[in-house]
Amino acid sequence: MNYTSQIASGTVTVDTDAGTFSITGVVGASPKPPDPPAPPTPSGDAIDLSAAIITAQSPDVRGWPITAKLTAVYISPSVNDGPDASMNVDFTKRWGAGAWPFVPGSEGGDLQYTLWVGCQILGLWYFSGPILCISRGQNDNYVPTGPVMRQGQLPDNWYYYAGSPLAGYQPKNGEQVAWFITAGIQRRNDIHVVAERTQVVLTPFAPGTYTF
């Protein structure tokens, strides 16, 4: 009586009546399965920035490397102009050793970085770089946003130049918005010494301190 079975990558045939067996093929350990593909390197961005739309008069900075971490976004509850109306941000190259360099502003005075905001409209993310900022020390950070939560503040005073649909868009209270920071001046211009940025983060469009 013959029995035939598969062993590894070969075949063994046993003849119990004749007391013989034969092997065809190569007997050995099962071949090692291929290694799984390496996972993609995470960009650190909370959204796919490569699929976003950079609006009119803003340079395309999507390919700039992430060299700094955006660590905090503070949105003031104020809806009126005043000393506490502006929002604030913090990131790892804002001040101290390795801080992003200052560049001369077109209207005089030095500037250091640009605050970008993104809104999702009909399923697409639209970004503009409207706020020019400078930090001269740990507790000295100029972020001239005005009262972010005032109705119409963003389309009226931030990105009115951005073109449709962003130019007329006001995020709703609690809506998810995106933020990131680039070195130099990118409001309707592009002046920079280093082409670097932070990661993109998401926060609700609502007063609060958000850390990353």
Q: Is residue 34 part of a domain?
A: no
Query: What residue numbers bound the domain in which 200 lies?
Result: 49-211
- DSSP E strand boundaries for the chain: 2-7, 9-15, 20-26, 53-54, 66-68, 70-75, 88-91, 103-104, 110-111, 113-121, 124-137, 140-142, 176-183, 197-198, 201-204, 208-211
Instruction: For residue 130, give both structure tokens.
Output: 């409207």
Question: Do 112 and 172 fall into the same domain?
Answer: yes
Q: Is residue 162 part of a domain?
A: yes
Q: pLDDT value at position 172? A: 97
State yes or no: pLDDT of 108 exceeds 50: yes
Q: Is residue 4 part of a domain?
A: yes
Q: Is residue 193 part of a domain?
A: yes
Comparing 41-55, 63-77, 92-106, which segment has the lowest mean pLDDT? 41-55
Q: pLDDT value at position 14? A: 47
CA–CA distance, 113 with 124 (Å, rounded to integer): 25
Contact 199, 46 (CB under 8 A): yes
Question: Do 94 and 14 fall into the same domain?
Answer: no
Domain count, the chain: 2
**pLDDT tens track for 17-38:** 555 545 455 444 455 666 555 4
State yes or no: pLDDT of 1 exceeds 70: no
Q: Is residue 132 part of a domain?
A: yes
Average pLDDT over residues 78-104: 96
Average pLDDT over residues 157-162: 98
Mean pLDDT of the chain: 87
Question: Do 24 and 84 fall into the same domain?
Answer: no
Question: Do 91 and 184 fall into the same domain?
Answer: yes
**Rg of the chain (C-alpha set):** 29
Q: pLDDT value at position 37? A: 54
Q: Is residue 143 part of a domain?
A: yes
Q: Is residue 19 part of a domain?
A: yes
Question: Which of helix, strand or coil describes residue 135?
Answer: strand
Q: Is residue 82 part of a domain?
A: yes
Q: What is the pTM of this model?
A: 0.80
Average pLDDT over residues 192-208: 98
Question: Do 19 and 105 fall into the same domain?
Answer: no
